Structure 1
Amino acid sequence: MNELFSIEEIEQFVSNHHLAFLYISKTNCGVCHALLPKVKKVMAEFPKIHMAFVNADDVPNIAGHLSIFTAPVLILYVDGKEVLREARFVHVEQFKEKVKKIYFLAEQS
């Protein structure tokens, strides 16, 4: 999984991939660290989605840039447009179903 360290890297990553997924975390966030392996497992089922990790502590201006108020935040983009955002307490099975629908629709276009 790519790790991104600036707003420019994030924008470039999103614009360079048809399906782009950001996992935004913080260093001392227990929920973030517990959720990450579960999200990786879900995303492994969708091989055409490119995943990147952002530590909000390393990119302090990300909060204002992406309107992030908590961590973790999971954002899925299709052709540079945000189509799914989940934050803090994520129900993994519901998240998986939402991604599955978006993935199927994106593959049809």
Structure 2
Amino acid sequence: MVKVIQTETDLSSALSEPATAIYFNSDACGVCHVMLPQLEQIVGTEFPKMNIYVVNANETPEICGKFSVFTFPTVLIFFEGKESLRMARNINLATFKQAVARPYSILFD
């Protein structure tokens, strides 16, 4: 299930989890709307203990600025509150899955 980050409190809560994916998108980005369901499916099947959060740049630009995200879509992966992976614009989902698999398995297996 995808959750929306709208406040700093939401962000703090998301980053306090052991594994978090934050997906940054924009209303004007067509690729963003296509990519999210695919990312949600991969995370749901391959990484079930990881939650996905969405930050809409049009609604919360200050959160985008906090992470220096100015290109969409962008995915940030956090393990234990620390940024582990950043993928932007041309996101290859096979590469994403491969990059997340190792730290995820170390944390949860």
Is the CA contact (8 Å cut-off) linking 2:20 and 2:52 kept in structure 1? Answer: yes
1:40 corresponds to? 40
Is the CA contact (8 Å cut-off) linking 2:55 and 2:63 kept in structure 1? Answer: no
The 2-side partners of 1:50 and 1:63 are apart by 19
1:64 Cα deviation after fit: 1.9
2:87 corresponds to? 86
Q: Give ranges in structure 2 of 5+ residues lacking alignment.
A: none
2:52 corresponds to? 51
1:75 corresponds to? 76
Is the CA contact (8 Å cut-off) linking 2:24 and 2:64 kept in structure 1? Answer: no
1:20 corresponds to? 20
Is the CA contact (8 Å cut-off) linking 1:19 and 1:77 kept in structure 2? Answer: yes
Corresponding residue pairs, total: 107
Q: Give ranges in structure 1 of 5+ residues lacking alignment.
A: none
The 1-side partners of 2:65 and 2:87 are apart by 17
Instruction: Among all aligned residue pairs of Structure 1 and Structure 2, give the percentage whose two residues are the same amino acid.
Output: 32
